[in-house]
Amino acid sequence: MKKTGIFITFEGIDGSGKSTQVKYLANRLMTLGREVVLTREPGGSTGAEEIRSLVLEGAPERWSAETEILLFTAARRDHMEKLILPALEDGKIVICDRFADSTRMYQGLTRGDLRSTVDSLTDLMIKRQPDLTILIDMDPELGHRRAKARNTKEERFEDFGVDLQRRMRGGFLQLAKEFPDRIRIVNGNQSVEDLSEEIYGVVQETLL
């Protein structure tokens, strides 16, 4: 019988340091001999990466929130089929930079009252929830400055401004109250190294 893997996701506002911390955690687990698959959303599979460019590039008004929900769900379904589920079935640890909670925030709450739509599509098409979600909580103004300083072409959501980041932070914190058994909040207003230690402690306590 195959050993079931572990599914860990990272969430937080733009510029909260998720991409850095997923790499830190992955490297640390691999040094312990664990098989780790590091991935991201939107993306992670060939089809999902193609959709990524559609939703993260261009003007803020390029898509309605409703259309974005469908695009993100399509990308996530392909990601699950092609990468996440096969890795979990092989007993690996999958660490994903963003997942369905981001869609609940970006399209489900902060750009309209569409949370029920996101949840319905997730239940219907995705089904599998993370075993653990690390929510990096930090000051929205600082996060927005960090995100804009990256100066990449994938800044469509950052261009909505800092007010969106403030609403997202509140939404993420509320989501943590809704799913206390899955979502763990860590303090993003600390050094990269200290944050990495806090995250590893949460992972050890919860899953390892």
Instruction: Kindly state whether residue 78 falls inside one of the protein's structural domains.
Output: yes
88 pLDDT higher than 90: yes
Report the sign of the C-alpha dihedral through residues 196, 150, 102, 111, in that order.
positive
| 48: CB partners within 8 A, 6+ apart | 41, 42, 75, 76, 78, 79, 82
Instruction: Tell me the CATH number at 48.
Output: 3.40.50.300
pLDDT of residue 74: 96
Please check whether residue 58 lies inside any domain of the structure: yes
Continuous H helices in 34-99: 46-56, 65-79, 85-89
Q: Is residue 148 part of a domain?
A: yes
| Rounded Cα distance, 177 and 108, in Å | 17
**Backbone φ, ψ for residue 7 (5° rounding):** -115, 110
Q: Tell me, yes or no, whether 1 lies in a domain.
A: no
* 121/70 Cα distance (integer angstroms): 8
Confidence class for position 148, pLDDT limits 50, 70, 90 = low
Mean pLDDT of the chain: 89
Q: Report cis status (omega within 30 of 0) of the bond before 42.
A: yes
- Write the pLDDT tens digit of every residue in 69-86: 999 999 999 999 999 999
Report the pLDDT value the prediction gives residue 1, as an integer from 0 to 100: 43
Hey, what are 126's tokens? Answer: 């995705």
Band of pLDDT at residue 160, cut at 50, 70 and 90: low
Angle between helix 192-206 and 18-31 (nearest 10): 60
pLDDT at 33: 94
pLDDT digits (tens, 9 = 90+) for 20-73: 999 999 999 999 999 999 999 999 999 999 999 888 888 878 888 899 899 999
Q: Is the pLDDT of residue 112 over 70?
A: yes
Q: Are 131 and 182 in contact (CB under 8 A)?
A: yes
Cβ-contact 201, 169 below 8 angstroms: no
Structural domains in the chain (count): 1
| Entry field: residues in the chain | 208
Token digits of residue 112? 């309209």
Its domain, for residue 176, covers 6-206
pLDDT computed for residue 183 by the predictor: 98
Average pLDDT over every residue of 143-154: 65
- DSSP for residue 48: H
CA distance 75 to 32: 31
Find the mean pLDDT for residues 86-104.
96
